[in-house]
Structure formats: C-alpha cells, structure tokens
Amino acid sequence: MIDAVREAAYRNGFQAVSVWPVGSLAHEQTLLQRWLDLGYSAGMTYLQRHAARGLDPRALFPWARAVVVLLVRWDSLHRCQEGPWADLVASYARGPDYHPVIMRKLGGIIRELRFDKAAAQVDATALPERALAHRAGLGWIGRNRFLIHPELGGDLCIAELVVDSTLQEAEPEPQIPLCGECTACIDACPTGALTREGVDARRCLSYHTTQNRGIIPLDLRESLTTLMGCDLCLQACPHGNAAVPVDAGASGFLGLLLAARTRDDFLACAGNSPVAYCKREAAVRSAAVVAATRRRDDLVQVLGEATAGDPSPLVRGHAAWALGRLGGSAARAVLARRHGTEPEPWVRSEIAAALEA
C-alpha cells in the first residue's frame, strides 16, 4: 500500500512523501508548551487552545491510524503563475492562493486510493505539520524552525492526508539535523526574532504581516520590506535551497493597495492573491510601511491621500509614518495640513513624530 501512496503522490505533483504511523508527540508537546511559556506566541492565542487539546492527530480525527506527509517546493507550485505582487511577498505567496491548489492534489490521491476515511490538510488545522514531517523522516527542523529536506531544501509546502489505514507499522528514522554550530539564520534575522528557543513572534516580520492585524511596532518597521511573510532566515540557510528572490521593482501593486479605500477596492486589487488573507486594513497598513522602507518616493501622493482620507486610523497612522520616513516638502506639507484635523490621538502622535523626523 505504501508504494501505491508514493506513486499517487508523485502523479499528483508532490516531490517527497512518507508516512507516520500515528503515535505519541509528547516531546513536541513539551517543546510547544515551553515556547508558549516564554510568551513567543504573541497574539496567537489559538495556539494555547491547541496545546491544551494536545498535538496527537487523534484529538481531531479519532479514527486516524496514519498520517501521509507530502512535500512540494513553492517555486515548483507557482511556476509560471507569479502575480504582480511577487516582488512584495515571501516565496510561498508569489502565486495564487495555494490552499485550493494543494487540496485538489490531495483530493486526487484520495480518489485514486479510495481510503474508507481520509482528511486532507494544508496549513489550516491544529496538526503540527513540521513535527509530523520530521517524524515521517522527511527532514529536520532547522534553527529557523523550517523543515529542511536534504534534497529539496526548506522552501516547502507541507500537506497531510490523515487516513484510517495503517499503511506501515514501523516509524521512519528521523533525519539527523545538519545545522551543527551554524547560526546563519539567526544572524540574518533583522529583528532578532530567532533564538535558540524558537521564533519569538513578537519580533517576527512574518507574524506581523500575516497574523497581527494591529499596529506594527515602531522598532520593527524599518526592517519590513515585504507585504506578507519573510524569507531572510531561509535564504541565509546553507541547506535551505531557497527560491531565488524576485527583484524588487517598481511594482504598481503597492500603489493600487494604498489607494484601496473599501473592501471592494481591495478585493479588486488583491482578491486573487494570498495578500487578501491579511484583510484590507492590515494589508494597506503594511503597504504603507513597505513603500517607505523601499524608498518609493513615487508613492508620496497616494500615501498623502491615505493619510488624509483612509477610513481606518490604522492605515492613516502608518501612512503618516511612511511620509515622515520618505521626507521631502510634499510629504511634510500633507502631514502639516493633517496634523490639525486628524481626530484620532494615536494617528496625531504618528503625524507629530513624522513631522519631527
């Protein structure tokens, strides 16, 4: 049966596959609880609930007997499908939303093999996907907390099929970590989010662009150059085999986002991109910061319009910060006009700080 699973996985476009017979994840549970106790989960309170329920797949699927873990590289998945947002996001978000793409591939495997019970999963439930991939012998967990496959690297989409068939009795031999004393990923993180205990989400740019829907901490903004996600620690890894970064050109996508005042405007611009996951306010907030850190002086006008006219204080405040960062007479004129009319105290404080920059 395991050979049939592998053949079906490869036919449906996956590049590596293995099986983990469902068992205990007590060690991983201990590590997760230690990470939570350090406060590293930031605003991801749902992880506390996951920890309380336990990481065992049977907590979600009582009938589970095995987990088929499958890998495919992001650059293979998005080949020839990169959108106009590709230079503004991490590699996993360069193409259309990957969730339906992966679910179709998993559905193909289920139809071929006709399991009595099977649940297809990709990045959407409490399953600890990297831990499962490690237990299935598909790689090791690097200091950047990516799963690193010895041949495919770390720029990977991980998917699972939870099935009610045993498939194989023996647990695969886990991959020995090859990090050694290397700290390249830790050294590459511009905000110090990577520690030997794990990723401190409070300082992680990926967290702030995808999970944090509020104010981006002031001391992190200068390091933020992407709308969604961050690949710097993966690019620094000698085993990561990261996708080649897309050249940061003068993408019109950033300006379109900054001009989106309504949900409909936003969806017209970003509706077929993973950026839509972030929702309008958070995406436009991040766009304002990125416009400044990428020195997009051509966007001063649209930033000024956002500072004065966006319905969200979150957007107005970050747009004001961006104008202060870019500087120039046009930016200062907008800020000076808005300072006396802005009703929100936090936004006024951002405008005042920008005028002093």
Pairwise CA distance, residues 187 & 232, whole Å: 10
Q: Which pLDDT score, from 0 to 100, does residue 229 have?
A: 94
pLDDT tens digits, one per residue of 249-302: 556 899 999 999 999 999 999 988 889 999 999 999 999 999 999 999 999 999
The C-alpha atoms of residue 148 and residue 242 are separated, in whole angstroms, by: 10
CA atoms within 13 A on the CB side of 38: 17
Contact 343, 241 (CB under 8 A): no
C-alpha 149, offset from chain centre: 19
Can you tell me the distance from the alpha carbon of 147 to that of 137, in angstroms, rounded to the nearest whole number? 11
The length of the chain, given as a count of residues:
357
Around 66, how many Cα atoms within 13 Å sit in the side-chain half-sphere? 24
Query: Mind telling me the catalytic residues?
Result: 123
pLDDT tens-digit series, residues 152-167: 999 999 999 999 998 8
Q: What is the pLDDT of residue 36?
A: 95
Q: Are 342 and 313 in contact (CB under 8 A)?
A: no
**Arithmetic mean of pLDDT, 79-90:** 78
Determine how β-strand 140-141 pairs with β-strand 194-195.
unpaired
Residue 319 CB partners (closer than 8 Å, separation 6+)? 258, 288, 303, 304, 306, 307, 310
Contacting residues for 322 by C-beta, under 8 A, at least 6 apart:
288, 289, 291, 292, 303
Neighbouring CB atoms inside 10 A of 77's CB total 22
Element at 160 (helix H, strand E): strand 156-163
Cα–Cα separations (whole angstroms), residue 11 to 20, 88, 106, 247: 21, 32, 11, 33
Cβ partners under 8 Å of residue 264, min gap 6? none
What domains sit in the chain, N to C, each tagged with a CATH number?
A: 1-219+229-241 (no CATH), 250-356 (1.25.10.10)
* Confidence band, pLDDT 50/70/90 cuts, at residue 80: low
